[in-house]
Structure 1
Amino acid sequence: MNTVVFPGSFDPVTNGHLDLITRASCLADRVIVAVAINSSKKPWFDLQTRCDLLSEATKHLNGVEIVPFNGLLAEFAKTHQAQALIRGIRGGTDADYEIQLSQVNHTLNPELETILLPAHARTAFISSTIVKEVFKHQGDISLLAPACVQQAFIEQQ
């Protein structure tokens, strides 16, 4: 069984994330969506809510697991016997950064590969920050994020 890890903060999960998770599920038997605990950021949603939203948004996909993580991604991947990381890229700046991270992760875990998936044009402009800003200004986020995210924003008001 091959396993890949798709890491991120997912605050909140977006349709861009879902596209990458769906594509990753076609590449591997097991996709671990690693939800990062990032102490340097002040998330909109707490860790449990982010995990719950991801679980709801991916429930139709086979082989997808939602797992919170803290620490080194290379170690997390080793612990979960993952062969590769999945990383989305939206452009050249993302690619440069992700290549550098790939080299660090490969240094820490030489058996770990990184697969860079380019975002589709229909989702490349979407980020969690954009979703939050559009919602804060009473905009329609239905084309940017799954329905469960909009509901979670409404419940937090």
Structure 2
Amino acid sequence: MRDQAFWYSLDNAAKIFPAVINDEIISVFRFSVVLKHKVHISSLFAAVRTIESRFPYYKVLLKRGFFWYYLESACFLIPVVVDDRMPCRRFDKEGPLLRILVADNRISVEFSHMLTGRERCTGFFQNLAGPVFNKSTHRSAS
């Protein structure tokens, strides 16, 4: 018996986004936290790998069904990239619908509105940033 769903339907608010996304309408939002000290990449990667299993809904790809779009479970590592480009860039329709960005002392997570809204992503963000913040402050004190 599987402990995860194979696919998820888009909620009513998200159903419009696949049809209207273009170069001007990107449907991406961003959460960021700025720490007092530089982010240790190893701590960030460890936090990401730890929380991935707790948030399987975020490890999905957008697929086109016969009548509607849906989200299909996928096996990929949540991308962690250097934050050196324009914020809130459009997501590739073939790829993940979130990305984690890091630059010096800032951690950002960008989500597609098709994946989640502000309320649901705060738990993910807190679980990601909390361990990194704790390790950063612990290392700076020693």
TM-score (ref. length: structure 2): 0.30
Identify which of structures 1 and 2 has the higher relative contact order when contacts are C-alpha pairs closer than 8 Å and 6+ apart: 2
Higher-strand-fraction structure = 2
Tell which structure's C-alpha radius of gyration is larger.
2
TM-score (ref. length: structure 1): 0.28
